Amino acid sequence: MGAVAGIRYTNDSKGNRRFVRVDLSVHGDNHLLEDLLDGLEIMSRQGEPTYPFDEVMRAEFERRG
């Protein structure tokens, strides 16, 4: 894989790629990067309780009066 400006890979002691560092000053306004980060956030929240939207909105309206 060729070098891409603003992207750096970090390898482990065996030479396997382990991390990707993204320079946000170069790629910070990239919609695909935002989608990737959103997906990672969703994956990290798997197993958390969920609440129906209408239930949340009803509680919010009641809270605000």
pLDDT in tens, 6-17: 999 999 999 999
pTM above 0.85, yes or no: no
Give CA separation, 3 vs 8, 9, 41, 47, 53, in Å: 8, 10, 27, 37, 44
For residue 20, tell me if it sits in a domain.
Answer: yes
For residue 1, tell me if it sits in a domain.
Answer: no
For residue 45, tell me if it sits in a domain.
Answer: yes
Q: How far apart are CA 28 and CA 23, in angstroms?
A: 7
For residue 47, tell me if it sits in a domain.
Answer: yes
Q: How many domains does the chain have?
A: 1
For residue 28, tell me if it sits in a domain.
Answer: yes
Residue 20's domain spans which residues?
Answer: 7-64
pLDDT in tens, 8-48: 999 999 999 999 998 988 888 889 888 988 999 999 999 99
